[in-house]
Structure 1
Amino acid sequence: MKLTNAQITKYRSVEDSQRFDIEPDVTALVGKNESGKTTILQALYRLNPVEESAQLDEVIDFPARLTRERRRLPEGERIPVVTATFRLDEDEVAEIEDDLGKGVLRSPEFTVTIGYRAAGRTIAFDKDEALVVEHLRSPLDLSATQADILNGADTVKDLLEALDSLEDAPAAARELANRIRGWRDHSLDCYLIDEYAWPRMPKFVYFADYDIMPGKVSIPDLIRRRDGNTLKRGEQALLSLLKMANVSLDDFLHTDRHERLIRELENTGNVISDEVFDYWSQNQELAVELEVLPPEEGAQPPLNEAPILQVRVKNLRHRASVPFDDRSRGFVWFFSFLAFFDELEEAEDNNLVLLLDEPGLSLHGRAQEDLLRLIDERLAPDHQILYTTHSPFMVSSDQFHRVRTVIDQDKVGTKVSGEIFKADEDTAFPLLTAMGIEMTQTLFIGEDTLLLEGPSDLIYLDVLTDLLESQGSTGLDPRWVKTPIGGAGKLSTFVTLLGANKLNVAVLIDSSTKDVGAIHRLRDNGQLSKNGLVQVSEFTGSADADIEDLFDQSFYLELVNASYSQQLPQPITTPDLNVRDPRIVRQIEAFFKKNGIANGKFNHYKPAAYLLREQATLLSKIDPATASRAEQLFSRLNALLS
């Protein structure tokens, strides 16, 4: 089950965030200070918090600017705050269909709403209740009269009433009636919620940059606040460390156990340190040590009450140690978070949604890259991550599709958007910086820049240019600086960033690319010239086309067969493919997957690389129709030169 989108309304600085999509693995909320990033996370946290104390408070949490509007609302009217959509995975859908009938869910998604003035959550499925009724009654062995009675039921409640009205009902009918009576309110909605939605919904975990373990605590004080449910998150991380070591706070009240307890804690601390060092590249010569001490003379409460537990970090290189919370906050954050997270992950049956508020705020740029690696490699494979940042080093240059901008606008409050071109200068700064770093390392740009999805596009344009020029025709003008940007997901971002530098930017895009809509909006907003979006389908005669569809199908198959000659048991022929699909690449991808060729994955670059290597012999095999399509494409692009 995954969180797919959310909308937040009437919560602190957020009047209406507008609905925003959430990635299945990692989503980055990027915005300047005081834009409302923390508010977004805290609202989401209340959907299903791992700590049940997190509640909405209408007086405190309702936007102050709208207090008069709130007071005018009818008494008892529910005010929604968070509406979120979750998507069931294929196994969960299959389980529901086995139970209630195939097709019972019109959509694998369901919505969850929380708000003021009403306890609990509202959960709604898009379902076919009549189909469920048919599925439940179909196995019953009934007489014609009994069947007629049940056939009039369209809802589960009607079915229960019909079952109860049967005379001489068979045992199976009585069992079905008892089953429905076991559902809360005899309701299908309640059954879906109680059986499938609520028990499996991920828990939401909020962790902030300041939630680090304390370096020194009074055990009696910690016990009192644990029992009073007033622990801070960093102290909870310390309790998690104790729990992982199978040590309780009360154990420290027995002075004869201190040595054993410290050894257990240090062993557990070493385990977490080893995990930290898998991702912490800044300094590997650190160790966590623990001591049980009496109070210092003149210590202020609560540190005047024994025993005192002190956590220290020792630098093995310098042979010195400092209190845990006096150490570089980067290592302290890593250690505190993993202590808190590891114990929580072990305790929870469901996946988690981790809400990380400004993680790595005090980290060096390289250490922030370590943190991104921790997120991608350790956390994201099993849990969804949403994190906030205003640091360019926390924006992965090859993962711009993860970014959602957060902007606080006058009179409308905090807005969240997946369209980067809506961002103001300050909000876009970390994105611009991250892209600038990437460009200086990997890209060449010029006054006239042609953005391509990948390197194979560049090869095809170069080869086709050579073909046309050898025939005395015009190829792609050399003034174009061709820039492959590594995937369609980056296209709209690059258009925005390059357009902001007043460059002439054109985009050559596959007609099937999901980013087409975003680039259309860029053009409508004046950040791309009117004719700057060039789709391959303009030259292939089909509505759905990749750049490979410029070539004759038999010629492209020759490239594929030659480049995969070692993996293919025999050459692919046209009858092997699904010719109803207009895209040759998708046909071949399906063939590779079905037949397990190259582990079921077709690499678009390999045929292009083969064509580049063998173009001396292959150019003559390119048919006139392909040359004509290429000439039309180049004429269109050359007309866009500044």
Structure 2
Amino acid sequence: MRLAQAQLTNYRSIRDSTLFQIERDKTILVGVNEAGKTAVLRALQSINPSPDTPKLDYLRDYPRAELNEIQTGRLTPSALPVAEVRFDLEDADRRAAAEFAPVADDVYITVYRYLDGSRTWTVHGLGQKLSMKAVAKDLVRLRAYLATQSAPQTLLDEIDVLTAVDSGADLNAHAAAVTAMLNTALPLIPEGSPESERWDRLEAAVEETRGWQKATGAIWSRLPLLVYYSTYFTVRPRIDLESLAARQERGDIDSEYDFGNLSLLKFLGFTARELSELGSGAPVKPSSYETNADVRKQHDEALTEHQRKLDDRQYRLNAAGVKLTQDIRRVWGDDNVQLRIVADGQYLKVMVVDDLGVEVELDQRSEGFRWLVSFFVVFRAQAADDLAGAILLLDEPGLSLHALKQQEFRKTVSLLGVDNQIIYTTHSPFMVGSDELDLVRIVEMSSREAGTKVHTRLQVDDPRSIYPLQAALGYELAQHMFAQKKNLVCEGVTDMFYLNALNEAAGEAGKPTFRNSPAIIPAGTASKVAYFCTIYAGQNLSVAALLDSDTAGDQAATQDALVALLPKRAVLRAGDFIDGVSHGAETEDLLRETLLSLAKELGWDSISTAAAQPHRPVMDILTSEHKNVSKWKLAKALTLHLRDDGFDALTAAEQGAWEKLVAAVNKAL
């Protein structure tokens, strides 16, 4: 089961997040400090948290400025929704439900959580839920028939009770009574008669509603656990068991400081008190041990039991260390690293064994390594070791990892749990890839009155919100600037998105693509293309330039530096590959028909104008007829379009223009 969309309300900084979509595998929440990213994760977690998660409390969780509305009784927590989310079913979920009722492909479940902690849910598309109205007429007619057959008055009374039930009532709630009545009436109904058919219809209705109920129950039982993890939930390298046990018994637990330690104990299957008592040593031999046979027997039995408990502890600690080692190796990339959990008197220690066989405590390794160990401990404890299907809500993951390790962690984040959907927040540009534009959701709070909003679009009120995306793009461009032997310099970032998306889609469809994987580098403006080409040529790298066929492109194409630097075939113009568009053609005109269709979906319908003016550039038409036209939105829409529908969804003219461009670039490089 996968989380597909959510709308969050009435929770801390969130008044109404608005409805936002959640990606199937990984979703990235980006926003400035105090925008409400943690509140978004916490509100999502409330849908199906682990048992040890703090319960919702209106004093702590309702927007503070509105708290008086509850305290004065004008609003009640039970009527205030915190989260409304939709889960889409996987094949395994459908198979589980199909054992009881037919299940269509479009079945999904909506879950609602309220501020008082109550929860409701609805399964959509499973078929009509039957009410008493479905059987009301047959019950009346069956009673009339049975009355003529000298049926017992008790049987007739049972039918009278059923027919008196409100017609809108759930049939399943009365299924047992209907079944009992039918079993009593069966001997009074001749086989093959019309009343026998009526009896069959009533029985079928009961079986249908029971099947519907069991199918919805099967779907509900498979609701995934939502596991929240914060950087604060750190496992301490040395845990004082007696101190922790005493604080637990006093109710003096720090929910953040102790959470990692308690998770480790839960993962091991012990309480702090149990381990503390085991650490106190073996039972002391009584003074009468040698002279009293009964005392000797009791002591020997206690000693044997103590040794058995020590063995049990050792086996559990060893098994836990093996599991954590496997998890860490899978992500950390070091097959020599080994974790051991050791009980030493009143202390529980997490040790790391390096490739030399040297044991050191966890705090002597890097903060990033310690974070990763803590994450897996909490994850396994909260998920009760049933990792498959849990949804991971990661708050600022990898914050203490080195920048390059963050990049590796980003690439392997889906390996943290097999078949786990992941939603994480970040400020770090290294945790967002330039190829993950469609996975990003912007969390923004323009004012306290408006509260936290979650945007799928990248065009937001506060430009600081998308700074990690800009920084990520800048870093990636810098890293790749001289990495490739062959390079194609284009004008803008959206041109790069178009070219990369088209090249990938064409490759998947078996159509022509750029040879030797050239780096596609946006210069920012046409005037800077010459400078970029100069830098690449100075590094003895192959370089070509793709310029728009507008005035700025004309000026750039005739710059002395570019003319002297590149052969004529290496200065490409967008208009050379497009039939019909005259002066002013841009990269977008390679995809004219498709972009016009996508623009209409975005609210910018200029199809009729474009049809009447076939030689006019598409962006010129859109920007003249509509306000706030965004090249970023169009680029993202095309990326999603190609991902979902493939290269063959483009028109023949667009595919032809792409093939011409590819041939020219390959020749130039």
TM-score > 0.5, shorter chain as reference: yes
2:588 matched to which residue of 1? 506
User: AA paired with 1:209?
Assistant: T
Aligned counterpart for 1:238 among listed residues 264, 271, 277: 264
- Paired residue secondary structure (1:337): helix
In 2, distance between residues paired with 1:534 and 1:331?
Answer: 38
> Within the alignment, does 1:549 sit opposite 2:652 as a pair?
yes
Q: How far 1:366 moved relative to its partner?
A: 1.6
Give me the TM-score of the superposition, normalised by structure 2: 0.60
Aligned counterpart for 1:480 among listed residues 552, 574, 584: 574
Q: Deviations over 1:177-211 (max 9, x none)?
A: 8999999xx99987665x22431111111111121
Q: How far 1:344 moved relative to its partner?
A: 4.9
User: AA paired with 2:594?
Assistant: S
**In 2, are the aligned partners of 1:272 and 1:335 still within 8 Å (CA)?**
yes
1:276 matched to which residue of 2? 328
**In 2, are the aligned partners of 1:242 and 1:265 still within 8 Å (CA)?**
yes
Give me the TM-score of the superposition, normalised by structure 1: 0.63
In 2, distance between residues paired with 1:428 and 1:190?
Answer: 46
**In 2, are the aligned partners of 1:83 and 1:111 still within 8 Å (CA)?**
yes
User: AA paired with 1:201?
Assistant: L
User: AA paired with 2:23?
Assistant: E
User: AA paired with 2:275?
Assistant: L
Q: How does 1:543-582 map to 2 (within 5 A)?
A: 546-547=649-650, 549-550=652-653
- Paired residue secondary structure (1:24): coil
1:215 matched to which residue of 2? 237
Aligned counterpart for 1:389 among listed residues 411, 426, 429: 426
> Within the alignment, does 1:25 sit opposite 2:15 as a pair?
no
Q: Deviations over 1:340-380 (max 9, x none)?
A: 3345556438621111111101110121123224422342x
Cα 1:87/1:547, change in 2 over 3 Å: closer
Cα 1:153/1:129, change in 2 over 3 Å: farther
Q: How does 1:314-463 map to 2 (within 5 A)?
A: 321=360, 323-342=361-380, 344-345=382-383, 347-348=385-386, 351-379=389-417, 381-410=418-447, 411-422=449-460, 424-440=462-478, 441=480, 444-447=488-491, 449=495, 451-452=498-499, 453-455=501-503
**In 1, are the aligned partners of 2:29 and 2:424 still within 8 Å (CA)?**
yes
2:347 matched to which residue of 1? 308
Cα 1:551/1:127, change in 2 over 3 Å: closer
**In 1, are the aligned partners of 2:594 and 2:651 still within 8 Å (CA)?**
no
Q: Deviations over 1:379-406 (max 9, x none)?
A: 2x41211111111111133222211111
In 2, distance between residues paired with 1:530 and 1:270?
Answer: 47
User: AA paired with 2:124?
Assistant: D
Q: How far 1:239 moved relative to its partner?
A: 1.5
- Paired residue secondary structure (2:594): coil
Q: How far 1:271 moved relative to its partner?
A: 4.5
Q: How far 1:110 moved relative to its partner?
A: 2.2
- Paired residue secondary structure (1:375): helix
Q: Deviations over 1:111-131 (max 9, x none)?
A: 111112x44201123357657
> Within the alignment, does 1:265 sit opposite 2:317 as a pair?
yes
- Paired residue secondary structure (1:10): strand
> Within the alignment, does 1:249 sit opposite 2:275 as a pair?
yes
- Paired residue secondary structure (1:55): coil
User: AA paired with 1:157?
Assistant: L
Cα 1:144/1:268, change in 2 over 3 Å: closer
In 2, distance between residues paired with 1:85 and 1:457?
Answer: 34
User: AA paired with 2:241?
Assistant: I
1:92 matched to which residue of 2? 93
Deviates more, 1:42-51 or 1:523-532: 523-532
Q: How does 1:4-23 map to 2 (within 5 A)?
A: 4-23=4-23
Q: How far 1:272 moved relative to its partner?
A: 2.1
User: AA paired with 2:35?
Assistant: S
What value does the CA root-mean-square deviation take over the aligned residues?
A: 5.4
Gaps of 5+ in 2: 147-158, 188-195, 283-306, 516-568, 578-584, 605-621, 639-646
Gaps of 5+ in 1: 295-306, 464-474, 484-502, 536-543, 557-604, 617-642
> Within the alignment, does 1:527 sit opposite 2:527 as a pair?
no
**In 2, are the aligned partners of 1:287 and 1:313 still within 8 Å (CA)?**
yes
In 2, distance between residues paired with 1:529 and 1:311?
Answer: 48
Q: How far 1:413 moved relative to its partner?
A: 1.2
1:157 matched to which residue of 2? 171
- Paired residue secondary structure (2:475): helix
Q: Deviations over 1:558-595 (max 9, x none)?
A: xxxxxxxxxxxxxxxxxxxxxxxxxxxxxxxxxxxxxx
Q: How far 1:8 moved relative to its partner?
A: 0.8
Q: Deviations over 1:145-192 (max 9, x none)?
A: 999999998875298587677695339999998999999xx9998766
User: AA paired with 2:502?
Assistant: G
In 2, distance between residues paired with 1:482 and 1:54?
Answer: 63
Cα 1:271/1:202, change in 2 over 3 Å: closer
- Paired residue secondary structure (2:573): coil
In 1, distance between residues paired with 2:335 and 2:40?
Answer: 35
* CA radius of gyration, larger in: 2
1:201 matched to which residue of 2? 223
In 2, distance between residues paired with 1:533 and 1:218?
Answer: 53
Cα 1:253/1:74, change in 2 over 3 Å: same
Q: Deviations over 1:269-328 (max 9, x none)?
A: 2552243123214x776554555556xxxxxxxxxxxx122334455569573x423531
User: AA paired with 2:39?
Assistant: T
**In 2, are the aligned partners of 1:213 and 1:234 still within 8 Å (CA)?**
yes
Cα 1:413/1:133, change in 2 over 3 Å: closer
In 2, distance between residues paired with 1:482 and 1:208?
Answer: 53
Q: How far 1:252 moved relative to its partner?
A: 2.9
> Within the alignment, does 1:57 sit opposite 2:57 as a pair?
yes
Q: How far 1:96 moved relative to its partner?
A: 3.8
1:110 matched to which residue of 2? 109
Q: How far 1:88 moved relative to its partner?
A: 2.1
**In 1, are the aligned partners of 2:234 and 2:259 still within 8 Å (CA)?**
yes
Q: How far 1:10 moved relative to its partner?
A: 1.3
- Paired residue secondary structure (1:8): strand
